[in-house]
Amino acid sequence: EADIYQTPRYLVIGTGKKITLECSQTMGHDKMYWYQQDPGMELHLIHYSYGVNSTEKGDLSSESTVSRIRTEHFPLTLESARPSHTSQYLCASSEGDTQYFGPGTRLTVL
Amino acid sequence: GQQVMQIPQYQHVQEGEDFTTYCNSSTTLSNIQWYKQRPGGHPVFLIQLVKSGEVKKQKRLTFQFGEAKKNSSLHITATQTTDVGTYFCAALSNSGYALNFGKGTSLLVTP
């Protein structure tokens, strides 16, 4: 198993709150990713990064934003959470083509 | 990107039966990867196939990459309850930096 961590693992918040989902990896990987996945459904890429100071939007439009100030850290922020943001958010990093996933954050917005 | 389609979406087998999931693309793939996600868990890398016609085995799992590099399959022999989960195939996007995942095949194994 790779060393990639996500916090919090579970989050229940009210509509309109600002939240930041944390993702860290200790493997020195340059490439990192955020996916959104509803239960039992496919993975949708929402953001990725080639390295420090680089971020790109993925295939699925998302109201979230990301930053990559340090190699090991790739946080995702929602400025104003809504019930439609309820989902699981998976962070991953890669060495070569293989991706290593964190345990995920299950977000519920009431 | 290099889109991949997976079939079937769901498969329910009795323990001991075999299982196969298929991944297809309309374009030639540079490589293909397979991941497994247990219920409530996160995807875990299983294998990568690169060469045309390549076949790789991991115990009861057999992975195959088509001769034209447009399709792949994962076959599980004599399924066990520990095989339960969703199996995803994935191919590099055109950017070369991200993966496009198939929709996955959810496998249920009953004793």
CB A10 within 8 A of CB A106: yes
Residue A73 half-sphere exposure toward CB, CA atoms < 13 A: 9
B65-83 pLDDT, tens digit each: 999 999 999 999 999 999 9
The tens digit of pLDDT for each residue in A92-103 reads 999 888 899 999
Average pLDDT of the residues of chain B: 94
> CB–CB of B8/B93 below 8 Å?
no
Q: Give the pLDDT mean for A80-108.
A: 94
**CA-based nearest residue to A87, from A49, A56, A60:** A60
Spatial neighbors of A61 by CB under 8 A, at least 6 apart, are none
pLDDT tens per residue across span A51-60:
999 999 988 8
Rounded CA gap, A103 and A108, in Å? 16
Of A31, A59, A98, the CB nearest to B45: A98
Q: Which of A32, A42, A59 to substitute to test the interface with B, most B CBs within 10 Å?
A: A42
At B2 the pLDDT is: 61
- Quick check: A99 and B45 CB within 8 A? yes
CB contact under 8 A, B43 and A43: yes
CB atoms closer than 10 angstroms to residue B96: 8
Nearest to B22 by CA among B78, B72, B70, B60: B72
Amino acid making up residue B105: T
Tokens representing A104 are 């995920």
Residue A105 has pLDDT above 80, yes or no: yes
Shortest alpha-carbon distance between residue A13 and chain B (Å): 21
A10 touches chain B (CB under 8 A): no
